[in-house]
Structure 1
């Protein structure tokens, strides 16, 4: 994988089959919390209505329904109001615990509750929609085991028939929701990549480059290594467009993007951040290393483009962040000052904010 590919946003943080931590937290707090509250209210309401219709549940089942409903509502409220991050293990076991709670009344009165098949759909659909595919199928397995044992013990062969009907339906729900969620994730990943990719060079655009710079700065602030920023501008690019046309200008930009991609490490981030301006973010780099890499690129462009129908040179501005107080905006300003210095000294050279003579 070359540096250009590594710099593309689709390679960094692309959503996979398992959801990211931010989505898991949203699932646990909002969807999971409201799901528990809704389940508790529904079970309590149906239990109360059965009493009014003079078709009550058995006394022990009625008590368990109200008790578990209260616990579900309380747990849902705690999730919604949790002050910190909810542990990942709790998020993953939440649907399985909910399924077991649904089966508890059945275990007590040894007759499958009419609420069971309906409520068991909720934890399976929840896991398939907002958690990983693996968690969804584990939840279905827990549901199949718990409901199968209870239905068989309570109703024998009739219970097994009910189990087959319920689990087959839940398996179809799990498969369909997981497929839809996977397609949605792929679409979101593609849209996120398009939003951060320059269509001409297929490098990251300014938005994606700023995000990478912010991530690397955060790592630096947390004790990570220093970083460097190069701003690379094509000298007299307007002459390329005026002399050979904009199609040749676009080809020049694509070729330079490929040349830069081949000249840096996979860990470096390369982007087209302006019309004829490129940026290179070099993690784990001190000023001397950054200056050396900038000079190498400047020399490589000068020599390797001589065979092009439209040879070019570049000016490079260099800035390095050794101090955690240097913000991404400060780093950009320093590199831009270096680029201005390089152009003021005659172009086709490397400059820094402190450059006093041609390099």
Structure 2
């Protein structure tokens, strides 16, 4: 409810900003034209020979950019800087355009045009810088979301198998972990408890692995670990540690969480599919042998 209210307030604020800048943009152009009418200027007989066409094109380009900015989904800070910058820039171009058609006071041509145009360019450039920073942050966020499991906040299946494909020419150890009787946990205690088990187990396991390892949730109650190298003794010790860590999570009625683990080792000429298949087979053997244990392929 609070999120919806905040979103609604942001939309109202954005609409107010759009109306304010659109009004300011139009009023600034109207005021400039009125200013010239007050001075009662004389038309130049050869207006298309002194740069008016070029100035008109520049004016229309900046106006078009202003319209695009009004329709773009930008952060408030970037939107304000771009809109204000383009408004000042357009005002300077308007003076410049009218200067080619009508007679204007000397101080406008010397000071006002250049000050407005330069200030508008600077603000617009800074607004573009803010926009690029926003785009970079959005790209990083989306990239992280695509490779991160939404519940446990560890790597997801996509990221894990992409990493495995990149290192499939190397020797490594694959460990697959499956929570025992997870369906009964959901049925007996509720899905909220099941989700809590997943997140707590993922958090505890993440602390047990070195930075060279890749830990991911493959889906449901199944996790996987990529360990560089094929040291069998290290894999045994790590598997025993993972079994012990799972038992530290207690459910209601004094029931503890247990896991089953399957381990396979990548040989030099073995395909990735074969490594995964052997780890799955080892996992099934661990489950069929009573669970709460590991099995080496």
Q: Same fold (TM over 0.5)?
A: yes
C-alpha distance after superposition, 1:24-67 (max 9, x if no partner) = xxxxxxxxxxxxxxxxxxxxxxxxxxxxxxx8xxxxxxxxxxxx
Q: Give the aligned partner of residue 157 of structure 2.
A: 206
Gapped runs of 5+ residues in structure 1?
1-54, 56-113, 119-157, 354-359
Distance in structure 1 (CA, Å) of the matches to 2:232 and 2:136: 40
Q: Give the aligned partner of residue 6 of structure 2.
A: none
TM-score (norm. length: structure 1): 0.47
Q: Give the aligned partner of residue 352 of structure 1.
A: 296
Could you say which structure has the larger radius of gyration? 2
Q: Give the aligned partner of residue 262 of structure 2.
A: 317
Q: Give the aligned partner of residue 270 of structure 1.
A: 215
Q: Is the counterpart of residue 242 in structure 1 residue 187 in structure 2? A: yes
Displacement after TM superposition at 1:226 (Å)? 2.6
> Tell me, what secondary structure is at the counterpart of 2:155?
coil
* 4+ long deviations beyond 6 Å: 161-167
Report if the CA contact (8 A) 1:317-1:340 is conserved.
yes
Q: Give the aligned partner of residue 275 of structure 2.
A: 331
Q: Give the aligned partner of residue 19 of structure 2.
A: none
Equivalent pairs counted in the alignment come to 200
Displacement after TM superposition at 1:230 (Å)? 0.7
Q: Give the aligned partner of residue 293 of structure 1.
A: 238
Displacement after TM superposition at 1:172 (Å)? 3.8
Displacement after TM superposition at 1:267 (Å)? 2.8
Report if the CA contact (8 A) 2:213-2:228 is conserved.
yes
Displacement after TM superposition at 1:166 (Å)? 7.5
> Tell me, what secondary structure is at the counterpart of 1:346?
coil
Q: Give the aligned partner of residue 42 of structure 1.
A: none
C-alpha distance after superposition, 1:142-170 (max 9, x if no partner) = xxxxxxxxxxxxxxxx99x9998887665
Q: Aligned runs of 1:107-146 on 2, under 5 Å?
A: none
Q: Aligned runs of 1:217-256 on 2, under 5 Å?
A: 217=168, 221=169, 226-256=171-201
Report if the CA contact (8 A) 2:172-2:227 is conserved.
yes
Report if the CA contact (8 A) 1:316-1:349 is conserved.
yes
Q: Give the aligned partner of residue 224 of structure 2.
A: 279
> Tell me, what secondary structure is at the counterpart of 2:239?
helix
Distance in structure 2 (CA, Å) of the matches to 1:195 and 1:189: 10
Q: Is the counterpart of residue 189 in structure 1 residue 140 in structure 2? A: yes
Displacement after TM superposition at 1:339 (Å)? 0.7
User: Which structure carries more relative contact order (alpha carbon 8 Å, separation 6+)?
Assistant: 1
Report if the CA contact (8 A) 1:290-1:320 is conserved.
no
Displacement after TM superposition at 1:173 (Å)? 4.1
Q: Give the aligned partner of residue 285 of structure 2.
A: 341
Q: Give the aligned partner of residue 92 of structure 2.
A: none
